[in-house]
Amino acid sequence: MNSAPYSWHAFAERQDLAAALAGHVAGRLTNAIAERGTALLAVSGGTTPARFFASLSSIPIAWNKVTVTLVDERCVPASSPRSNAGLVAANLLQNAAAAARFVPLYQEGVSIGETSEADSRMLRSLSWPLNVVVLGMGTDGHTASFFPDADNLEKLLDPSSTSTVLPVHATSAGEPRLTLSLARLVEAGFIALHIEGEDKRKAFETAMGPGAKKPIRAVLDAAGTPVDVFWAP
């Protein structure tokens, strides 16, 4: 069984993980700016990233040359506590990072199908491929909005997809979602997986084992570079 290559970075404290991951991301963004004049970062939402976002926001890089977008989004207004755009606005786009450009996935009042088409057009204008992707993971092995019960999971995980943004309907997701496709995520020069707690460590280990392939495993298997996993208890 080919085991997907990844690097495991464990930290005793969540704040130490946040500072270390922020340093890695800031360094990769700075390298991208040096190489092509701009940098493209995609981050995940949920409850885990807030400390990391706060640490990254205060690192003085050329944020005016950085575009930040989302790995995925819940189809809710930015004012909703469920909004990933709201999480990024409140925790990342502050301090030095306030100078970054933010490109959201969800547009209020537009149907999810129209939004994913419109997002694809808007996002296609960005300087792909992504330079940095920061993923989260659920204990069910989902990452981004690649939920195991998604009705279009095969399309979401298709490594040859030409799609940029896809709609997701999955009972376990809660509200309808929009997600970057696996194909766009795995092109990134640096892919980090940020997980915390014993349950997620066990879920990751299981996903790396011989059982049914979970979405996180599909990402690691398709990634162009070994994924860096950042974990704290």
Binding of ligand 6PG at residue 91 (CB under 6 A)?
no
Residue closer to ligand 6PG, measured from CB, 74 or 214? 74
Segment contacting ligand 6PG by CB under 6 A, of 38-46, 89-97, 102-110, 111-119: 38-46
CB 33 to ligand 6PG: min, Å: 25
CB 154 to ligand 6PG: min, Å: 18
Q: Which is it for strands 72-74 and 39-43: parallel, antiparallel or unpaired?
A: unpaired
* One residue of 48, 55, 69, 164 binding ligand 6PG per CB under 6 A: 48
Under rule CB under 6 A, which residues in 61-80 are in contact with ligand 6PG?
71-72, 74
Binding of ligand 6PG at residue 215 (CB under 6 A)?
no
Binding of ligand 6PG at residue 104 (CB under 6 A)?
no
Report the Cα–Cα distance between both ends of the chain, in Å, rounded.
28
How far is Cα 9 from Cα 228, in angstroms, rounded to an integer? 7
* One residue of 42, 44, 170, 184 binding ligand 6PG per CB under 6 A: 44
> Tell me, what DSSP letter sits at residue 97?
G
Segment contacting ligand 6PG by CB under 6 A, of 9-17, 115-123, 132-140, 148-156: 132-140
Three-class SS of residue 119? Answer: helix
- C-alpha dihedral sign at 207, 155, 187, 184: negative
Binding of ligand 6PG at residue 136 (CB under 6 A)?
yes
CB 183 to ligand 6PG: min, Å: 17
Which residue in the block uniquely carries the two structure tokens 């860096």?
Answer: 228
Residue closer to ligand 6PG, measured from CB, 65 or 194? 194
Question: In Å, how far are 78, 106, 153 from 219, measured between CA atoms?
Answer: 28, 23, 12
Three-class SS of residue 102? Answer: strand
How far is Cα 217 from Cα 213, in angstroms, rounded to an integer? 6
Segment contacting ligand 6PG by CB under 6 A, of 6-14, 41-49, 155-163, 220-228: 41-49
Angle formed by the axes of helices 215-222 and 198-207, nearest 10°: 60
How far is Cα 156 from Cα 142, in angstroms, rounded to an integer? 12
How far is Cα 68 from Cα 42, in angstroms, rounded to an integer? 6
How far is Cα 185 from Cα 201, in angstroms, rounded to an integer? 22
Residue closer to ligand 6PG, measured from CB, 61 or 88? 88
Determine the size of the site formed for ligand 6PG (CB under 6 A).
14
Binding of ligand 6PG at residue 189 (CB under 6 A)?
no
